[in-house]
Amino acid sequence: MRLLILFGILTLLITIGCKKAAVIEEVDEKDWYAGGSQTFFDQSGGAFANTFVGLTPTQEQIHSVGDKFFEASFVSSPSPINPGLGPLFNAVSCVSCHPSDGRNSAPAEGDNLHNLLLRISVSGESVHGGPLAIPNFGLQFQPRAIFGLTSEGNVNVNYSYIQGNFDDGEAYELRQPTFSILNSYMSFPSDAMVSPRLSRPVFGLGLLEAIPDWALLANQDLFDSNGDGISGKANSVWNVKDQKMSIGRFGWKAGSPTLLQQVGFAFSEDIGITNFLFPLENSYGQSQSVNSEKELSDSLIYSVTFYLKTLGVPAKRNISDSEVIRGKQIFTEASCVKCHTPKQKTAVNVAFKSISNQTIYPYTDLLLHDMGGGLADNRTEYLADGSEWRTPPLWGIGLTEVVNGHSNFLHDGRARNLTEAILWHGGEAANAKIYFRKLNASDRAALIKFLKSL
Amino acid sequence: MKILLFLSLAVITISSCKKPTEVTNKVDSFEVLQKEVLSDLATNVNTASYIGLASKSDDLYNVVLAFNLNPSEQGLTEAKNIWKETRAIWEQSEGFLYGPVSSNNIDPQIDTWPVDYNALENVLNSSNTFSESEINALDDALKGFHPIEYLLFGQNGNKIYTDFTQRERDYLIALALNVKNLTNDLASSWDASISSNFVNHFKNPSTSNPIYSTNNLVYLEIVNALIGICDEVANGKIQEPFIAQNPLLEESPFAFNSITDFKNNMVSVQNVYLGRYNADGKGLEDLVRTYNLSLDNSIKAKISNAISSLDNINTSFGDAIINSPIQVQNAIDAINELKNELETGLLPFVQTYIK
């Protein structure tokens, strides 16, 4: 009898035990911990600005030095503080395009472009297969110059509007920007390829960088052998530091192989601060070219890179909300997940355990996809052709309005909300968009609510 | 004996019945209080500060105009004083650098640092006419409080009225007008009568509110901003020039106004905590002392301590970092202690009691 009771209790315990485990797994499936161990339960305006936990005091110090220079305003040389600005530039600081470590809003109609930049090139390829610089303009258009010098010109933006309807008849409107270069200091070639780029949030980048190459390559489907209309291609770009070709990860077209190179390029092209990776002023070869020594020390470029590498990821919210669960289901059914891959794993890294062996939920495959003519910039960047873009991570996207006070999305900020962003999808994502347009209003709302939970 | 047991049971039953009601009442009134504090803070502190800033910026513009028409040492002194008064209100608003002041990019346009000396001299030597559009087109490092400070006080802080060129006065007028316009925009952006304004999101958290879906989120914003300014003052504005032993890194060097700036930043924390600027309404203190009087006392003591630690520095900041290191280190420590109390006391309080 006693044995029977004991057996009964044991069975009960085991049943309870099993059930609990199942619940835990369910929560895990719901990817609450977007950034693995570096997830922050912060939905405030500072949600993109959380420093990794578990850093050593030295690492914290490097992070805070990087933070300081990320926020610092640079001024023209010589100056006792933050010298080196320009002579040509787009912005005076990192933070002016990444407020609160987030993204800028799109420029307003008629604005002289300060918060968005244009990458430019002519047809052909550089030595390493990258974009070919425009003589006298380079690879990026700088509409600003230090006082007394002439900038490369002005950029004007105008919007046209496109009307459309969901299948249930509800109307929507999309806006399409046109960028024009005015008053250029020299004649700007009419056949130039111009790609507008708005800033992106800068958290979680250390984790994205830690996803192994093989994991990205494994998701490629270059010839669409599974016939789902979605291919996916890793970019292959010149790695300036290692002097070899590497897989591209960062930037709207995955044109940078490493965070370090992305930072170095931004300092050089955006602010006019030369560094060991990009030692020539962005005005090099132009009539107003100024030769200057390396303006950013190696330790500072590494500190700023480390700062970005160690910004944690905001946790998902409202994961048990029934509408969010429904939206997640739709996100899968509409095949959004085929490019916005929810889950990734970072490589083991014994030297830096904060980013080592983490399961993260960035909602990206970091691969290039054809997004159709509507979004095409018609500018090639290594393997990315004129209509291909890197799948941008979606983590934290639901906090954009809280952190940055706007909801402008896509490479040029044309989408004024998430619905418009989806409606701009084309090419490999055309079917997903058609699926979205067919949904009834409550399912569309559920999908948006799911995105806002990220 | 049995009766005793019965009685005690009855007492337990009665008291256990009573308690939940009390608790419920307390919770209900605490929720009401949360809304009152948000409304009072928005009106009495945030909006009132911005209205004060706009009005003082109007004064600055007028006094600079008058100085230009009738240059005199008295006129210059008046302009310098009004600049300091304007600056005081701005620094007292840096404990709440969220909302339009950052999302509309007003902060960098009026308070970018450092000043770009070379460019500023180039502007003066140019044929720039200082029209509104030309000023708007200038880089942030060439407009706002610090270039005005540079022009009014001079690089060594000893400028007298006869040192001014007409170009300097023209530039000064244009910069004062620019600050006046921007601070007036800032005040309007907190005008609660415009329903789409940020302030109405701030005061009314709800599930349909695009920025703050819960009270908790607004309060986290408020507290994180307080922590942020303590961190910036202690570990940035004071510590960096101090460690580098370099007065050139000081933020407000021309007017020797840095210590006052730091102190006003701490006053900003106090204003938010007490819910008072000119008018005294409900503030964070009212919430905290509902549940934790000792935390309330401790935060207040640490705020006072931070302010008095800055009062103890009796010389200019540039001089103090070299010659009064103990006082400077004490100020860093006192402000970090306040920051720590906000992080480990106030922040968990908000997480626990404000949903």
CA distance B207 to chain A (A): 12
Asked if pLDDT for residue A453 goes beyond 60, the answer is yes
For residues A399-421, give the mean pLDDT: 95
A residues 7..46 contacting B (CB < 8 A): 42-46
Residue B285 or A78, more confident: B285
Q: Which of A280-294, B91-105, B319-333 has the lowest mean pLDDT?
A: A280-294
What's residue A219's pLDDT?
95
A199 in reach of chain B (CB within 8 A): no
pLDDT classification of A29: cutoffs 50, 70, 90: low
Most confident of A156-160, A181-185, B302-306: B302-306
Q: Does A99 touch chain B (CB under 8 A)?
A: yes
- Mean pLDDT, residues A370-392 taken together: 97
The pLDDT-based confidence of A111 (bands split at 50, 70, 90) is low
B98, B117, B217 member nearest A43 (Cβ): B217
| More confident position, A320 or A23 | A320
**Cβ contact B122–A144 (<8 Å):** no
pLDDT, tens digit (0-9, with 9 covering 90-100), for B204-262 = 999 899 889 899 999 999 999 999 999 999 998 999 899 989 888 888 889 999 999 99
Question: CB contact, 8 Å: A77 with chain B?
Answer: yes
pLDDT band at A24 (very low <50, low <70, confident <90, very high): very low
Of A162 and B25, more confident: A162
Closest residue to B98, CB basis, from A42, A45, A85: A45
pLDDT band at A22 (very low <50, low <70, confident <90, very high): very low
The answer to whether the CB of B318 falls within 8 A of the CB of B253 is yes
* Contact between residue B157 and residue B254 where contact means Cβ atoms under 8 Å apart: yes
Average pLDDT over residues B41-65: 98
Per-residue tokens: A436: 């979205």
* Average pLDDT over all residues of chain A: 91
Helix residue ranges per DSSP H, B41-165: 48-69, 73-91, 100-103, 106-111, 117-125, 132-137, 145-153
**Which chain A positions have a beta carbon within 8 Å of B105's beta carbon?**
96, 99
Are A405 and B113 an interchain contact pair (Cβ–Cβ within 8 Å)? no
Mutate which: B101, B103, B190, vs A, most A CBs within 10 A = B103
Q: Kindly report the average pLDDT of chain B as a whole number.
A: 92
Task: Read off the DSSP letter of residue B343.
Answer: I
The answer to whether A402 contacts chain B (CB < 8 Å) is yes
Q: Can you tell me which residue has the tokens 């007036």? A: B184
Residues 6+ apart with CB under 8 A from A303: A62, A63, A65, A66, A69
Name the residue among A46, A76, A82 with its Cβ closest to that of B118. A76
Using a CB-CB cut-off of 8 Å, the residues of chain A touching B113 are 73
Residue A178 C-beta-side C-alpha neighbours within 13 Å: 6
Q: What is the mean pLDDT of residues A1-25?
A: 45
High-pLDDT (> 70) share of chain B, %: 94
pTM confidence score: 0.87
Average pLDDT over residues A151-163: 94
Q: Average the pLDDT over B92-108 and give the result.
A: 92
Residue A321 has what pLDDT? 92
Looking at residue A30, its pLDDT comes to 56
Residue B105 banded pLDDT, cuts 50, 70, 90: confident
Question: How many angstroms separate the CA of residue A403 from the nearest CA in chain B?
Answer: 9
Q: Does the domain at residues B29-353 carry the CATH identifier 1.20.1420.20? A: yes
Encoded amino acid at A161, one letter = Y
Residue B296 pLDDT class (50, 70, 90 cuts): very high
| Gap from A118 CA to chain B (nearest CA, Å) | 19
- Out of A21-25, A210-214, A411-415, least confident range: A21-25
| pLDDT at position B83 over 90 | yes
Task: pLDDT band for B22, please (50, 70, 90 cuts).
Answer: low
- Residue A23 is predicted with a pLDDT of 40
Tens digit of each residue's pLDDT (9 = 90 or more) over A240-277? 999 999 999 999 999 999 999 999 999 999 999 999 99
Instruction: Say if the Cβ atoms of B140 and A78 lie within 8 Å.
Output: no
Among A83-87, B263-267, B281-285, B338-342, which is the least confidently predicted range?
A83-87
Q: Looking at the predicted structure, is the pLDDT value of residue B14 above 50?
A: no
Q: CB of A71 within 8 A of CB of A346?
A: no
**DSSP labels for A313-381?**
EEPP--TT-HHHHHHHHHHHHTTGGGTS---EEPPP-TT-GGGTT-EE-------EEE--TTT-----B
Please state the rounded mean pLDDT for residues B169-193: 97
Q: Is the pLDDT of residue A19 over 70?
A: no
Q: Which of A79, A96, A144 sits opposite B116 (nearest CB)?
A: A79
Q: Which of B234, B239, B242 is nearest to B338 (CA)?
A: B234
In terms of Cα–Cα distance, which of A359, A326, A346 is closest to A442?
A326
Residues of B in contact with A80 (CB under 8 A): 114, 246, 248-249
| Closest in A79, A96, A401 to B117, CB measured | A79
The confidence band for A17, taking pLDDT boundaries of 50, 70 and 90, is very low
pLDDT at A218 over 60: yes
The Cα-based distances of B256 to A182, A274, B107, B261, B300 in angstroms read 44, 33, 21, 10, 28
ipTM of model over 0.85: no
Check pLDDT > 60 for residue B16.
no
Find the mean pLDDT for residues A331-340: 96
Give the distance from residue A45's alpha carbon to the nearest chain B alpha carbon, in angstroms. Answer: 6
pLDDT of residue A25: 38
Mutate to test the interface with A, among B102, B115, B118, B128 (most CBs of A within 10 A): B118
Of the partner residues A75, A99, A402, the one whose CB lies closest to the CB of residue B116: A75
Contacts with B246 from chain A: Cβ below 8 Å: 80
Question: Looking at the predicted structure, is the pLDDT value of residue A298 above 90?
Answer: yes
**Chain A closest CA to B50's CA: distance in Å?**
19
A430 lies within 8 A of chain B by CB:
no
Quick one: tokens of B208?
């349909």
CA angle, B69 then B116 then A260, to 5°: 155
Contacts of B104 in chain A (CB under 8 A): 405
Assigned token pair, B121: 């001299």
Contact B118 A78 (CB under 8 A): yes
pLDDT at B42: 97
pLDDT in the model for residue B279: 93
Shortest Cα–Cα distance, A91 to chain B (Å): 9
For residue B143, the model assigns a pLDDT of: 93
Segment A24-46 shows an average pLDDT of 77
C-alpha distances out from residue B65 to B101, B125, B173, B178, B277, Å? 27, 21, 6, 13, 29
pLDDT surpasses 70 at B149: yes
Q: What is the pLDDT of residues A338-368, one digit of tens each?
A: 999 999 999 999 999 999 999 999 999 999 9
Share of chain A above pLDDT 70, in %: 93
- Contact at CB, A80 and B140, closer than 8 angstroms: no
The band of B268, judged by pLDDT with boundaries at 50, 70 and 90, is very high
In angstroms, how far is the first alpha carbon of chain B from the final one?
A: 47
Adjacent-strand bridge partners of A125: A131
Largest CA distance in chain B: 103
Tell me if A43 and B246 make a contact (CB, 8 A cut-off): no
Average pLDDT of the segment spanning B287-291: 96
The pLDDT value recorded for residue A80 is 84
B138 interaction partners in chain A (CB closer than 8 Å): 147
Q: Where are the domains of chain B?
A: 29-353
Q: Is the pLDDT of residue A2 over 70?
A: no
Distance from the B114 Cα atom to the nearest Cα atom in chain A, whole angstroms: 7
